[in-house]
Structure 1
Amino acid sequence: MTYEIEIGRSKRGRRAYSLDDVAVVPSRRTRDPLDVSVNWQIDAYQFEMPVIAAPMDSVMSPATAIALGRLGGLGVLNLEGLWTRYEDPQPVLDEIAALSAENFSPAATRRMQEIYEAPIQADLITSRLAEIREAGVTVAGSLTPQRTQQFYKTVLAAGVDIFVIRGTTVSAEHVSKNEEPLDLKKFIYELDVPVIVGGAAGYTPALHLMRTGAAGVLVGFGGGATTTTRRALGIHSPLASAIADVAGARRDYLDESGGRYVHVIADGGMGASGDIVKAIAMGADAVMLGSALARAEEAPGKGWHWGQEAHHPELPRGDRVNIGTVGPLQEVLWGPSHHTDGTSNLIGALRRAMATTGYSDLKEFQRVEVVLSPYVSVD
Structure 2
Amino acid sequence: MSEIEIGRGKRGRRAYTFDDIAVVPSRRTRDPEEVSISWQIDAYHFELPVLAAPMDSVVSPRTAIEVGRLGGLGVLDLEGLWTRYEDPGPALEEIATLSPERTTARMRELYAAPVQPELITRRLREIRDAGVTVAGSLSPQRTQQFWKVVVDAGVDLFVIRGTTVSAEHVSSRAEPLNLKRFIYELDVPVIVGGAATYTAALHLMRTGAAGVLVGFGGGSAHRTRTTLGIHAAAASAIADVAAARRDYLDESGGRYVHVIADGGASVSGEVVKAVACGADAVMLGAALARATEAPGRGFHWGPEAHHAELPRGERVDVGTVGSLEQILLGPAVGADGTTNMMGALRRAMATTGYTDLKEFQRVEVVVAPYDPR
The bucket for the TM-score relative to the shorter chain is over 0.9
**Counterpart AA for 1:157:** D
In 2, Cα distance between equivalents of 1:377 and 1:211: 40
The match for 1:124 among 115, 119, 139 is: 119
User: Please, which runs of 5 or more residues in structure 1 have no aligned partner?
Assistant: none
Deviation for aligned residue 1:330: 0.6
CA offsets, 1:14-50, max 9 Å, x none?
Answer: 0000011000000000000000000110000000010
Q: Which residue of 1 aligns with 2:280?
A: 285
The match for 1:313 among 288, 308, 311 is: 308
User: Please, which runs of 5 or more residues in structure 2 have no aligned partner?
Assistant: none
TM-score, normalization: structure 1? 0.98
Q: Which residue of 2 aligns with 1:357?
A: 352
The match for 2:257 among 234, 259, 262 is: 262
Please list, as runs of the form range in 1=range in 2, the aligned pairs for 1:65-84 lying within 5 A after superposition.
65-84=64-83
What's the RMSD between the two structures over aligned residues? 0.5
**Counterpart AA for 2:62:** A
Q: Which residue of 2 aligns with 1:15?
A: 14
Deviation for aligned residue 1:4: 1.1
CA offsets, 1:281-335, max 9 Å, x none?
Answer: 0000000000000001000001000011001111111010111000111111000
Tell me the SS of whatever aligns to 1:347: helix
Deviation for aligned residue 1:205: 0.2
In 1, Cα distance between equivalents of 2:50 and 2:105: 33
Tell me the SS of whatever aligns to 2:191: strand
**Counterpart AA for 2:149:** T
The match for 1:194 among 189, 192, 200 is: 189
Deviation for aligned residue 1:108: 1.2
**Counterpart AA for 2:301:** W
Please list, as runs of the form range in 1=range in 2, the aligned pairs for 1:1-379 lying within 5 A after superposition.
2-100=1-99, 102=100, 105=101, 107-378=102-373
In 1, Cα distance between equivalents of 2:164 and 2:321: 31
Tell me the SS of whatever aligns to 2:16: coil
Identity rate of aligned residues, in percent?
A: 75
Deviation for aligned residue 1:339: 1.5
Tell me the SS of whatever aligns to 1:375: coil
Tell me the SS of whatever aligns to 2:143: helix
Equivalenced residues, count: 373
Tell me the SS of whatever aligns to 1:326: coil
In 1, Cα distance between equivalents of 2:365 and 2:332: 26
Deviation for aligned residue 1:276: 0.1
In 1, Cα distance between equivalents of 2:151 and 2:197: 30
Deviation for aligned residue 1:340: 1.1
TM-score, normalization: structure 2? 0.99
**Counterpart AA for 2:50:** V
Tell me the SS of whatever aligns to 1:87: coil
Deviation for aligned residue 1:6: 1.3
CA offsets, 1:104-132, max 9 Å, x none?
Answer: x3x21110111100000000000000000
In 2, Cα distance between equivalents of 1:368 and 1:347: 18
Tell me the SS of whatever aligns to 1:180: coil
In 1, Cα distance between equivalents of 2:74 and 2:257: 20
4+ residue runs over 4 A deviation: none
**Counterpart AA for 1:121:** Q
**Counterpart AA for 2:38:** N
